[in-house]
Chain A
Amino acid sequence: MTDASQMTNGGSTPPLAIELSAINKSFGDVHANRDVNLKVVSGHIHGIIGENGAGKSTLVSILYGFYAADNGLISIHCQTTTIRNSADAIGKGIGMVHQHFMLVPNFTVLENVMLGHEGSLSVEASAQKARNVLNKLSEDFGLAVDPDMIVENLPVGLQQRVEILKALFRGAEILILDEPTGVLTPQETVQLFDILRALREQGVTILLITHKLKEIMAITDDVSVMRGGEMVAHLETAQTSPAELAELMVGRKVLLEVDHTPAKPGVPVLQAENLCLTTANGIDHLKDISLTLREGEIVGVAGVSGNGQSELLDVLSGITAPTSGSFHVGTSKITTQQPSDPSKLRRLGVAHVPEDRHKCGIILPFSAAESMILGYSGTDEQKQGWWLSPSTLKQNCSDRMQHFDIRPPLPSLASANFSGGNQQKIVLAREISAQPKLLLVGQPTRGVDIGAIEFIHKQLIALRNEGCAILLVSVELDEIMSLSDRILVMNNGQIVGELAREEADERQLGLMMAGIGAEDGITTSQMRAGS
């Protein structure tokens, strides 16, 4: 099918793998895609970049048959088609690697790969055939995975590899990757990009969806920018720059670099000695964590998610008691025997912006005004005792909404109806307004737009300059490197190293995050190499 259509195309114009014209899709009142056009050249790596909620995921979901477009045309290899479901998409040679993997966790790699494409009623017969194909694919593309491993026991990077193999197994000539690097270490990202380049050499067309400028610059041939459900630009990657792309994404000039002045550390605010956290079934989440945080500095904690950072925040904010060790906040000592709780620590001046704002930061059905006082409802500062005064609550909320540029500025709107960035600003506004001595921040910009990221970063620096100590946990290395005065790296529940701001680079951090001390590492320039 591919060959035929490519031949009819001929001429000087490059053959198109995908052509979308005037795609529209609404969810109720939300117009997620508005007259979207897209041309993807066969055999290219084409990036689609845009902020969260720009409509990228909706667009590729339409392409993969998860949603039906309200109207518009889809052509695959120059043939107009309709894609009603995933089976149709697979039939047209489209494969997708979802942001949240579509793998059955307790199945083997082999079972996952053949699921839906067994080719025979008996599992044994299909398994044998699939095994052969899988071995061949592994060799052709350098995608080695043990077919008999249970998927949930594989590291995330390998799980993603299984997803790619799954698509290739189904004969994909067009591979869509939706935010593929969100869960990967820098090293795994480099490996992924190597795989993508190998695929391109074999003639596979790749559509890469991301919100990371660096990735677009490192690997794509062409890039399309989406904003507010519309396509705002189609560019050749070589002809553009991160600054231009950022401006197109946000619709105004964005400062990619934070204005970071040298810190002036004061007296210690937090001192932790040999903190350990072991679960009832013997799993060590934290091992011998010792650290000191001083007034007026930001200490970043880097690490691949799931290496103890979340537990560290839980212990320091008083949600969980350590199983051994202790920490001092000011003059108060917290140990296993004298545990604390979040409200006591809050009174000692510890504020906490939790990693998962939906779970611990706000209550989605509550109004913004109510979410704005969670945990502080009984304090003097709120002038609220047993009775809540709706007018005070609203007044207080709209003041902060103005100060933190929270949109829309409606205190009575349910928290769920704000965008991710504005929800995060509600949490941040609440915690910063308490004028903390120590601020614990987890993933401050997860799922937050570039524009809001810029604002949040400015707020954190301003708070530091006022003398607050900030512990910043993030999986975004760029964020850690641009905000922190010192960087701690966690791996497997331990602090495996500390770097000063000046010493830190991505390669070094990546290796430490992976628990390797060796020197063979990766930089952005190396990510680009080979293209």
Chain B
Amino acid sequence: MRKGSAPSRTCTDMRIPCPYCGTRDAHEFGYLGDATTRRPDGGDPFDQVHIRDNPAGPHEELWYHGAGCRRWLVVSRDTRTHAITGARFAKEPA
């Protein structure tokens, strides 16, 4: 095992802690991308559809548990290490 390395770098196996099903392999989920974009009230939705912050670091993103509870989740994941730090139902407030 890789003793001494930072915890965020050892957790790269991509298991998502689904609030309903428990911790499951990311293989069971589909990905939709950035969960922080919002459709503007009556305005031009161009940014929401096309423009992304695309950060290198913590990222809030939408995953769909298609092979499980079939709920949409907002997963917190670091795009530099793939370390997943949390997941909640997308319908619930942050």
Are A and B subunits of one complex?
A: no
Interface positions of A (Cβ within 8 A of B) = none
